[in-house]
Structure 1
Amino acid sequence: MYSISNKPKSTSVSVSPSGEIVEGSSVTLTCSSDANPPVQSYIWWFKKNGGDYQSMTGPQHVFNQIQSSDSGEYYCEAQNEMGTDRSRTINMDVKYGPKSTSVSVSPSGEIVEGSSVTLTCISDANPPVDKYTWYKKNVTSPKASGQSYSITNISSEDRGEYYCEAQNGRGS
């Protein structure tokens, strides 16, 4: 009985656990291939957030605490003495709650009684923020909802500290 040598084929990537990838969780990428003689080396190629492709070796790549910066394209190559085969490219999309939330004020500078001002809430989130809520410090009920909050014909009662809360399905 003899076996037929072949270069790697049916090379594939599996992601564990499957389903949505959430920032901070543990994720394992596994490369598998059908080859005879067995695969001698596995090379991972990945491109994070529009950067250049980088490589790493080994049949598995483990993210102990995956970060939003790990989002990008990944594929693997399996190699034996007969040749090389590559998997399809997978897109890793790491989900996370809002962060780096800030408020911009327009117009900036001194605010004069009778004038108007617009506050805009800016937040980084994946999936995108689906709810913005505006609060005034020491006032329990929300002042407004929506990414921008305009105060027109400002009077002394409007004086105070304002902040926004950004929410998506992952947190606030």
Structure 2
Amino acid sequence: MTGTQHVFNQIQSSDSGEYYCEAQNEMGTDRSRTINMDVKYGPKNTSVSVSPSGEIVEGSSVTLTCSSDANPPVDKYTWYFQNKTFLNGFGQMYNISNFKSKDNGHYHCEAWNGRGSRNSTALMIILQEKQTSGIIVVVLVVILWLFCFMWFRKSTGESPS
């Protein structure tokens, strides 16, 4: 850039950094001292992640983490379940130590700093149903088959080997 001044028409967070100017004429070149420009902004790109990712099993521990880009850094997080604030959800991480079906639903967080706040999009967490019904059916079919086989052998006069 050339000229005696630089105007930022729309300052952005990416404009943060070190700046200096340089003056040059036929006698030589001189450089100003470096200044640091620190652009302050409210939270943005706020999101919720869940660990472990994937299948949530009843009784397992689930940790939700709220992340947000902000300058100054986020100083307050608020957690919401089904769009209602929950009393013990005020840190960057929220832990559910014994996940049950009553914990199924939408979770989101709100990040705050001195410049404003931003909500994350909602994250749906659903407890995986235990797959015991399929196992029970298989076991019952095997028992029924064995019973029928034994009954058939007994009724035809054959003794089981």
Answer whether TM exceeds 0.5 for this pair: yes
Flag the structure with larger Rg: 2
Partners in 2 of 1:99 and 1:89 — Cα distance? 29
Contact 1:135/1:142, CA 8 A, preserved across alignment? no
Equivalences for 1:57-96 in 2 at 5 Å?
57-96=2-41
Counterpart residue number, 1:126 = 71
Q: Deviations over 1:6-39 (max 9, x none)?
A: xxxxxxxxxxxxxxxxxxxxxxxxxxxxxxxxxx
Change (3 A) 1:170 1:113: same
Q: Deviations over 1:81-127 (max 9, x none)?
A: 22221110011110111111111111111112211100011111111
Partners in 1 of 2:83 and 2:27 — Cα distance? 72
Q: Which has more strand, going by share of residues? A: 1
Contact 1:95/1:126, CA 8 A, preserved across alignment? yes
Q: Partner of 1:58: helix, strand, or coil?
A: coil
Deviation of 1:138 (Å): 3.7
* 2:116 aligned with 1:171: yes
Counterpart residue number, 1:117 = 62
Write the letter of the residue equivalent to 1:80: N
Q: Partner of 1:69: helix, strand, or coil?
A: helix
Deviation of 1:155 (Å): 1.5
The alignment of Structure 1 onto Structure 2 pairs a total of residues equal to: 117
Partners in 2 of 1:169 and 1:121 — Cα distance? 18
Q: Which has more helix, going by share of residues? A: 2
- Structure 2 unpaired stretches of 5+: 118-161
Moved more, 141-150 or 86-95: 141-150
1:137 to 78, 82, 85: 82
Partners in 2 of 1:125 and 1:138 — Cα distance? 23
Q: Deviations over 1:123-161 (max 9, x none)?
A: 111111111111112425555110100011112211110
Partners in 2 of 1:109 and 1:155 — Cα distance? 16
**Cα RMSD between the aligned structures?**
1.3
Equivalences for 1:17-96 in 2 at 5 Å?
56-96=1-41
Counterpart residue number, 1:47 = none
Write the letter of the residue equivalent to 1:168: N
- What's the TM-score, normalizing by structure 1? 0.64
Percent identity (aligned): 82
1:146 to 71, 91, 95: 91
